[in-house]
Amino acid sequence: VLQNDIDLLNPPAELEKKKHKLKRLVQSPNSFFMVVNLPFLAF
């Protein structure tokens, strides 16, 4: 894919995934933390 051939306002999702997390149009982490709340394990 040529750099000039990309719609910069609506980049394809697979292209955004390849970029570094801080260089994306919308800065988002590659992963996220799941908050697990298990009330029956509370002591």
Mean pLDDT by 10 residues, the chain (43 residues): 64 69 65 70 58
Report pLDDT for 36: 74
- What pLDDT, on the 0 to 100 scale, is given for residue 15? 72
pLDDT recorded at residue 28: 62
- If one counts the domains in the chain, the total is 1
Structural domain harbouring 37: 1-43
3-class DSSP state for residue 13?
Answer: helix
Report pLDDT for 17: 67
Supply the pLDDT for residue 35: 75
Q: Alpha helix (H) ranges present in the chain? A: 13-18
Yes or no: say if 12 and 19 are a contact pair by the CB < 8 Å rule.
Answer: no
The residue behind tokens 């980049």 is: 11
Which helix H or strand E contains 18, and what residues bound it? helix 13-18
